[in-house]
C-alpha cells in the first residue's frame, strides 16, 4: 500500500531487532516513560496499533495485535489439559495471559510479576488488567518468578511463563534450574508453556533452551504463531509435559476468540522445515 505520509514530522519509536535492523512506530502520544527498579517502561499511542507497551525498548504488547500472542500462550495448554484447575502465570504483567485463562472455569490463577510498576502502568493503560485483578480467582504476587516457584508449596496443572526476553530481570526464567524447579511443582498431567522468541532472530537461544528442556521433560513441542509486532512477525513457543501430546486434542475452545481455533491449534504444531530440522538434529 502506498505510504501517504512520508515527511519526517513524526516522532518515531524504534525497536532494534539487531544492531542494524528493526521496526518503527510513529508516536502520536507518549503516555508514560519512566525507569522502574527493574527496567525502562514506556507506553506510546500509535495510530494503527493503539497503545503499545515497551520494556527496555522492546515491544511487549499492543492493543491491536495482542490477541495473537495471548491466545496462543494460553489456549493450546488449557485445551490440551483434561481438567485445568490450578494455573500459575510467571511474568505477563500486562495481564493478557491471565485474561485468556479466565475464559475457563479454573479454580485459581496465581499471577507472579516481578515489577509492580508494570502492573500499575498497565492497570491504567490496558483496561483488561484492572478488570481481571478484581476476579476472585486471581492472586497477584509481586515477586521474582524463580523465587516464587522455589518457595511454592502448591502444585499446578498448568504453568505459563510469559517472560520478557532473556535480558534484565527475566534472565533466570530462561535457565535450566528454573525449569527443574517448575517441573517439581507440576501435577501428574501438568503442562508448561513458555514463549521462546523469534525462530528467525533468536535461533541460538532456542537451541540452547531446547538442549536442556529435552532432558527435563519427556515431551517437548515447539509451536509458532503470527504476532505482527514481534521480530519477523512470527513467534515461537514451547509446550512441555511428561504425559500430554498437544496434537491430540478433543475439547472445544471457548467462544469469542480472534485467532485460536481447532485449525490454528493444529497448524501451530506443524513446523516449517527450518524448525523441523533443528528439532530433529537436537534429538
Ligand atoms: N510476551 C512478551 C514479549 O515477549 O514481548 C512479554 C510480556 S510480559 C509484559 C513480560 C513480563 O515479565 C514483564 O512485565 C516483566 O516485568 C516480567 N518479568 C521479568 N522478569 C521476571 C521475573 N524474574 N519474575 C517475574 N516476572 C518477571
Residue 75 makes CB contacts below 8 A (sequence gap 6+) with 100, 253, 254, 257, 260, 265
CA of 17 to the centre of ligand 1 (A): 18
Out of 91, 112, 116, give the residue to mutate to test ligand 1, the one with the largest number of ligand atoms within 8 Å of its CB: 91
CA of 46 to the centre of ligand 1 (A): 22
Do 40 and 91 belong to one domain? no
Do 206 and 91 belong to one domain? yes
Task: Identify which has the larger pLDDT, 180 or 276.
Answer: 180
The verdict on residue 58 lying in a domain is yes
The pLDDT value recorded for residue 91 is: 97
As for how many domains the chain has, the answer is 2
| 206 SS3 class | helix
The verdict on residue 79 lying in a domain is yes
Do 18 and 115 belong to one domain? no
Range with the poorest average pLDDT among 158-162, 198-202, 248-252: 248-252
Do 29 and 135 belong to one domain? no
Could you tell me the CATH number of the domain that includes residue 96?
Answer: 3.40.50.150
Is the pLDDT confidence value at 277 over 90?
Answer: no
CA of 197 to the centre of ligand 1 (A): 13
Out of 89, 98, 114, 146, give the residue to mutate to test ligand 1, the one with the largest number of ligand atoms within 8 Å of its CB: 114
Structure letter (DSSP) for residue 172:
G
Do 243 and 125 belong to one domain? yes
The pLDDT value recorded for residue 168 is: 84
Do 46 and 140 belong to one domain? no
The half-sphere exposure of 27 on its side-chain side, counting CA atoms within 13 A, is 15
Task: Identify which has the larger pLDDT, 6 or 129.
Answer: 129
Tell me which residue has cell 540452547: 208
Cell of 133: 485483578
The verdict on residue 5 lying in a domain is no
Do 115 and 253 belong to one domain? yes
Condensed to tens digits (0 to 9), the pLDDT of residues 219-228 reads 899 999 999 9
Tell me which residue has cell 497503545: 51
Is the pLDDT confidence value at 162 over 90?
Answer: yes
| Active-site pick, 144, 162, 242, 245 | 162
Do 96 and 195 belong to one domain? yes
Do 46 and 110 belong to one domain? no
2 confidence band (pLDDT: 50, 70, 90):
low
Identify the helix (H) or strand (E) that includes residue 86. strand 86-91
Task: Identify which has the larger pLDDT, 53 or 274.
Answer: 53
Mean pLDDT of 233-245: 96
Do 22 and 160 belong to one domain? no
Is the pLDDT confidence value at 274 over 90?
Answer: no
**65 catalytic per annotation:** no
Residues lining ligand 1, judged by CB closer than 6 Å?
A: 55, 60, 69, 90-94, 112-115, 118, 144-145, 162-164, 169-170, 172-173, 195
The verdict on residue 256 lying in a domain is yes
**What is the C-alpha end-to-end distance of the chain, expressed in Å?**
44
| Nearest ligand 1 atom, CA 173 | 23
Is the pLDDT confidence value at 8 over 60?
Answer: no
Kindly report the backbone phi and psi dihedral angles of residue 66, in degrees, each rounded to the nearest multiple of 5, phi listed first: -60, -25
Domain that holds residue 180: 66-282
The verdict on residue 45 lying in a domain is yes
Which of 19, 34, 62 is the last residue in one of the domains?
Answer: 62
Condensed to tens digits (0 to 9), the pLDDT of residues 63-112 reads 999 999 999 999 999 999 999 999 999 999 999 999 999 999 999 999 99
Do 220 and 161 belong to one domain? yes
Which of 42, 62, 82 is the last residue in one of the domains?
Answer: 62
Dist CA 206 CA 140 (whole Å): 29
Could you tell me the CATH number of the domain that includes residue 27?
Answer: 2.30.140.10
The verdict on residue 243 lying in a domain is yes
Condensed to tens digits (0 to 9), the pLDDT of residues 99-155 reads 999 999 999 999 999 999 999 999 999 988 888 999 999 999 999 999 999 999 999
Do 135 and 157 belong to one domain? yes
Percent of the chain with pLDDT over 90: 86
| Nearest ligand 1 atom, CA 60 | 5
pTM for this structure? 0.95
Amino acid at each position: 500500500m502506498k505510504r501517504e505520509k512520508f515527511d519526517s514530522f513524526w516522532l518515531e519509536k524504534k525497536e532494534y531487532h539487531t544492531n542494524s535492523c528493526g521496526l518503527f512506530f510513529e508516536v502520536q502520544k507518549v503516555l508514560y516513560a519512566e525507569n522502574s527498579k527493574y527496567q525502562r517502561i514506556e507506553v506510546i499511542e500509535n495510530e494503527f496499533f493503539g497503545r503499545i507497551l515497551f520494556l527496555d525498548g522492546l515491544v511487549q504488547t499492543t492493543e491491536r495485535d495482542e490477541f495473537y500472542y495471548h491466545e496462543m500462550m494460553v489456549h493450546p495448554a488449557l485445551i490440551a489439559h483434561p481438567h485445568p484447575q490450578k494455573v500459575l502465570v510467571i511474568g505477563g504483567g500486562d495481564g493478557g495471559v491471565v485474561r485468556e485463562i479466565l475464559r475457563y472455569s479454573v479454580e485459581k490463577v496465581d499471577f507472579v510479576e516481578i515489577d509492580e510498576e508494570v502492573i500499575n502502568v498497565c492497570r491504567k493503560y490496558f483496561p483488561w488488567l484492572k478488570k481481571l485483578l478484581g476476579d476472585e480467582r486471581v492472586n497477584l504476587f509481586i515477586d521474582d518468578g524463580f523465587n516464587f516457584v522455589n518457595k511454592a508449596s502448591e502444585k499446578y496443572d498448568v504453568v505459563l511463563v510469559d517472560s520478557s526476553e532473556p535480558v534484565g530481570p527475566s534472565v533466570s526464567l530462561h535457565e535450566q534450574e528454573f525449569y527443574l524447579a517448575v517441573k517439581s511443582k507440576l501435577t501428574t498431567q501438568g503442562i508448561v508453556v513458555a514463549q521462546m522468541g523469534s525462530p528467525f532472530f533468536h535461533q541460538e537461544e532456542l537451541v540452547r533452551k531446547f538442549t536442556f528442556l529435552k532432558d527435563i521433560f519427556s515431551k517437548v513441542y515447539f509451536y509458532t504463531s503470527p504476532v505482527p509486532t514481534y521480530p519477523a512477525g512470527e513467534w515461537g513457543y514451547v509446550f512441555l509435559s511428561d504425559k500430554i501430546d498437544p496434537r491430540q486434542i478433543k475439547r472445544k475452545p471457548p467462544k469469542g476468540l480472534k485467532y485460536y481455533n481447532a485449525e490454528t491449534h493444529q497448524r501451530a504444531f506443524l513446523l516449517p522445515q527450518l524448525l523441523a530440522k533443528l528439532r530433529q538434529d537436537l534429538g
